[in-house]
Structure 1
């Protein structure tokens, strides 16, 4: 039976560091753009975890905005309200990683069912995929916003399986985010970790991905060769 592939979006299909060029133009110290982007992303995820644990769901864009404001304060960057509004608009149009289109095209041609599975809202993720030219490769878009929970809550992965009408052993979560991979494995799904940085460590929880690859082309090749 063909697997169903659920692709994380932010950091897996879409490059969250794609905002760095704009940060270099907006920050008083352009050389701090990489660090600002990294801290913004980390705080974005932290806020989603915290809101989830509090049972006080807000959508992912709100986590992203609050994380931007925090990073501005923490780094004393002095961004104006207009700067922040502009950076949020840039975040809504982030680019895909260079190999993603070719990898998804290969999977689609092989008849593999592919879906986008994200903490972002359907509107936000749909916009990103459309801008990146990836919409046609996806059979569905599954957003946690429907159930007002965030990854790695087990309810999110249960909702994914229900939405796809797929058995856990036939459902793959493909993500560059280790917490997402661990969450999926804990919920009984198969998982692939896209280790985009060679020095990226995996959490030592005793829960390992079924596959580790350097990018999505490597994943597509390995999956189709099995």
Structure 2
């Protein structure tokens, strides 16, 4: 697939965590804090992250729909239990508080400002709660026009329900949007199944899906304005 000879989009939609916000770095720091609090510094934070991710993704796709705060806290408790540790409310609160404080990648605000100046409207579509993501959005220089969350849509990616909800809220067809993301497992799966245009920000931390090729691939968000220059957008 390619973006050549396709229409200029009205909206650019973005995944938040890992695309705009330093997710991996933030998780590493907060899980190390939690393990230190448990007097378990011998356990690698990366191991706890992997367990947490597995439980989190399973809970997100298991009815009934629950808030991200509940999903993330329960996943943390289950992950800690696998390591022989007991989780508590303080752990869950610390995690969600830190998520909202995670900063953007260094190039993100300038790239968003350039895209905004070119007349694109910018929207985040994220697997989170409104109250959590507000702290992240506040760090993006006032560039974001809309924030659509799993809390609002009642579903988590990769379910197309959240993307269908977003397109309805933006009052656009999928042809009027280009989605920009770093997550193959969540966002590429939806792009494959729904057929919307997608730019992959490949920060070298995720493996691509075996049955999907994004329309364009860039190492950071900084390359998006130049890519759009080549397309006449």
- Report the TM-score when normalising by structure 2: 0.83
Whole-angstrom CA distance in 2 between matches of 1:144 and 1:5: 18
Question: What is the 5 A alignment of 1:189-208?
Answer: 189-197=196-204, 200-205=206-211, 207-208=212-213
Whole-angstrom CA distance in 2 between matches of 1:114 and 1:94: 20
Whole-angstrom CA distance in 1 between matches of 2:159 and 2:125: 14
Whole-angstrom CA distance in 2 between matches of 1:91 and 1:30: 24
Contact 1:93-1:128 at 8 Å conserved across structures: yes
How far 1:35 moved relative to its partner? 2.8
RMSD over equivalenced CA pairs, Å: 2.2
Whole-angstrom CA distance in 2 between matches of 1:113 and 1:7: 11
Structure 1 gap ranges (5+): none
Match for residue 68 of structure 1? 76
How far 1:164 moved relative to its partner? 1.4
Match for residue 29 of structure 1? 41
- Report the TM-score when normalising by structure 1: 0.85
Match for residue 111 of structure 1? 119
| Residue 209 of structure 1 pairs with residue 217 of structure 2 | no
Contact 2:72-2:92 at 8 Å conserved across structures: no
Structure 2 gap ranges (5+): 1-6
Contact 1:9-1:116 at 8 Å conserved across structures: yes
Of 92-101 and 61-70, more deviation after overlay is shown by 92-101
Cα 1:81–1:158 change in 2 (3 A) is: closer
Whole-angstrom CA distance in 2 between matches of 1:38 and 1:91: 16
Cα 1:143–1:80 change in 2 (3 A) is: closer
Contact 1:7-1:117 at 8 Å conserved across structures: yes
